[in-house]
Structure 1
Amino acid sequence: MRVLLTGAAGQLGQALVASAPPGIQLIATSRVELDLADFAACRSAVATHQPAWVINAGAYTGVDLAETNQDLAMAVNAGAPRAFAEALANTKGKGRLLQLSTDFVFNGSQGTPYRVDQMRDPLGVYGRTKAKGEEAVEEVLDPAAAVILRTSWVMGPVGRNFALTMLRLHQTKDVISVVADQVGCPTSTLTLAKACWRVVECDADPMPPVLHWSDAGAASWYDVAVAVGELGQELGLLEHPATVQPICTAEYPTPARRPDYSLLDCVGSRKALALDGQHWRVALRSVLMAIPPQSTQP
């Protein structure tokens, strides 16, 4: 089966490349091979490779930068999914799309996990552009031809993410201040990649059109920062964890507003995927264990 992957150099993309199942002919593209801001190039990639699946794992993920780079964020996060969807529609059912999306399509104002069928109501540019990407996929492709997979707080052993940043700060600081009043759930790129490949592998038994996937449990950014210190010491990645001080969002202002609560309801999705959820702390330990040796130095 031929699969066209975008964002191959990103943290999820690298996990997808490393865990590709046997029998997959993977066409892995990074920004160098395929500029997701180029609508025509995205359509051409589908026409050229004629993939059975496009896994669109690439995105403009700079949440704060998106506030001042709205056109680029919209082109990558909304334009590329539309381009892939339109090109796949021309294959007359021979190709499908797995569109990776985010908890940021919700406003975070409720106190219960967000269901797959809830209304999108993003707070900032990043969430708005990702929501537009979802809408484009739904407008262009039949439900059987596309799966939107929302996830949250993605962290892996490579790339830029909260876990690796916290590990570096634990190695170099005595005290770290971390926001404690935003609640969600971390997602390991290792478990997320497995969920993505399960969607593709179930090609003969189409998935629901929208899925949610994160690791199990709930946490604040503060909780994750503490866990990184404890697990990092346990695994020999640092000698002594820093002291982590909880602060509120108001004490750490950012250009983009984050959802206060972005837990995703994954119960139905886990059943559809036939995958059990791994507690986020267990998954985080696996992430830290998988960090390349040369990357553990502060």
Structure 2
Amino acid sequence: MKIFVVGANGQLGREIKRQFQDKYELFLHGTDTLNITNSDAVDTAIAKVKPDVVINAAAYTNVEKAEEDCDNAFQVNAIGAENLATSCKKHDSKLVHISTDYVFDGTKDKPYEEFDLHNPLSIYGRSKSLGEKLIEQVGGKYFILRTSWLYGDGNNFVRTMLRLSREKSEISVVGDQYGTPTYTKDLCWAIEKAMCTTFYGVYHASNEGSCSWYEFAKEIMTAAKCKTIIKSLTTAEYPVKAKRPMNSVMENRMLKLRGLNTMRPWQEALKDYLEHECQQL
């Protein structure tokens, strides 16, 4: 099976390479080798390979910077997604597109399901929401996988907390925003399960369970046997440019209905990550 990956240098892209390189024929592209906002470049690259699956792990993910860099966020997250979808449809390739919990506004008091309406609060969320809609308009063989609070091989919340724990005796973390930390390893399992089917559509793919950022930080310290004290802040006490959803917990409803759910409890996935990827930190 030929798999064409964009965003290959990011956390998810590196995990895809790690898990798939011995199973599939991979064609890996970062921003240095393919600009997904250029429709001609995208079509030329995909036409050359004629892949069975295209995985879009590329994204403009700097939530704060996007508030002032709106055009670039929309170019990458919306137009780039549309370009890939258009070329995939033209060349009969499956598209796996990674989206986000930030398409929701966080006002629901239960986990979000795949059919809940979008109402993003930030430029980042709006750009990812439009990307989903453009893919759906193009049609074809697509899987949209929404995930949340992703961590893996790269800069992320877990590694930031571990670094800060070596520098400070006390760390303050927001305690009133809830979501689900998700390990790239688990997301790759979901991608592989989905792409080998013809069950096209929208899926939620985050680890099971939920927590606040504060609870996540405390679990990191406990699992890593760090003695740093974690204090809880409110969102109001930690002002930022971009609004975040207060509750972006998602239910993996469609993965479960299709018999494809392999997502572990987030605490179990975190322990796996700390044991196998953070020993050197």
The residue matched to 1:26 in structure 2 has which SS? Answer: strand
Post-superposition offset of 1:150 = 0.4
Match for residue 194 of structure 1 among 184, 189, 204: 189
2:36: which partner in 1?
A: 36
1:223: which partner in 2?
A: 215
Judging changes above 3 Å, is the alpha-carbon distance between structure 1 residues 24 and 273 closer, same or farther for their aligned structure 2 residues? farther
**Could you give the per-residue CA deviations for residues 193-245 of structure 1, whole angstroms, max 9, x where no partner exists?**
1111111222xxx1240000111111000011001111112xxxxxx421000
1:89: which partner in 2?
A: 89
> What are structure 1's unaligned runs of at least 5 residues?
234-239
Judging changes above 3 Å, is the alpha-carbon distance between structure 1 residues 292 and 34 closer, same or farther for their aligned structure 2 residues? farther
Judging changes above 3 Å, is the alpha-carbon distance between structure 1 residues 36 and 179 closer, same or farther for their aligned structure 2 residues? same
1:159: which partner in 2?
A: 154
8 Å CA contact retained: 1:179, 1:252: yes
Match for residue 163 of structure 2 among 163, 168, 182: 168
8 Å CA contact retained: 1:198, 1:273: no
**Could you give the per-residue CA deviations for residues 77-127 of structure 1, whole angstroms, max 9, x where no partner exists?**
001111111112222xx2111110000001111111111011111111000
> What are structure 2's unaligned runs of at least 5 residues?
none
1:291: which partner in 2?
A: 277
Distance 2:26 2:212 in 1: 36
8 Å CA contact retained: 1:37, 1:72: no
Distance 2:134 2:46 in 1: 17
The residue matched to 2:264 in structure 1 has which SS? Answer: coil
Distance 1:159 1:272 in 2: 31
Distance 2:3 2:179 in 1: 31
Give the letter aligned to residue 55 of structure 1: I
Distance 1:195 1:253 in 2: 34
1:237: which partner in 2?
A: none
Post-superposition offset of 1:33 = 1.3
Post-superposition offset of 1:267 = 3.1
Q: Is residue 207 of structure 1 aligned with residue 175 of structure 2?
A: no
The residue matched to 2:269 in structure 1 has which SS? Answer: helix
Distance 1:153 1:56 in 2: 17
Distance 1:131 1:119 in 2: 10
Post-superposition offset of 1:265 = 1.2
TM-score, normalising length from structure 2?
0.96
Judging changes above 3 Å, is the alpha-carbon distance between structure 1 residues 273 and 68 closer, same or farther for their aligned structure 2 residues? farther
The residue matched to 1:19 in structure 2 has which SS? Answer: helix
Equivalent runs, 1:19-168 vs 2, <5 Å: 19-20=19-20, 22-91=22-91, 94-142=92-140, 145-156=141-152, 158-168=153-163
Judging changes above 3 Å, is the alpha-carbon distance between structure 1 residues 292 and 251 closer, same or farther for their aligned structure 2 residues? closer
Distance 1:44 1:112 in 2: 44
8 Å CA contact retained: 1:187, 1:214: yes
Distance 1:120 1:66 in 2: 19
Distance 1:40 1:59 in 2: 19
In the alignment of these two chains, the number of paired residues is: 281
Post-superposition offset of 1:43 = 2.4
Q: Is residue 245 of structure 1 aligned with residue 231 of structure 2?
A: yes
CA RMSD of aligned residues (A): 1.4
Distance 1:12 1:119 in 2: 26
8 Å CA contact retained: 2:42, 2:83: yes
Which shifted more, 59-68 or 281-290?
Answer: 281-290
Distance 2:174 2:21 in 1: 38
TM-score, normalising length from structure 1?
0.90
The residue matched to 1:112 in structure 2 has which SS? Answer: coil
Which shifted more, 14-23 or 259-268?
Answer: 14-23
**Could you give the per-residue CA deviations for residues 252-275 of structure 1, whole angstroms, max 9, x where no partner exists?**
111100000001111331342533
Post-superposition offset of 1:21 = 6.7
Match for residue 258 of structure 1 among 206, 223, 244: 244
Judging changes above 3 Å, is the alpha-carbon distance between structure 1 residues 9 and 273 closer, same or farther for their aligned structure 2 residues? farther
Q: Percent identity?
A: 35
1:13: which partner in 2?
A: 13
Judging changes above 3 Å, is the alpha-carbon distance between structure 1 residues 273 and 192 closer, same or farther for their aligned structure 2 residues? farther
Which shifted more, 17-26 or 75-84?
Answer: 17-26
8 Å CA contact retained: 2:171, 2:231: yes
Distance 2:19 2:246 in 1: 33
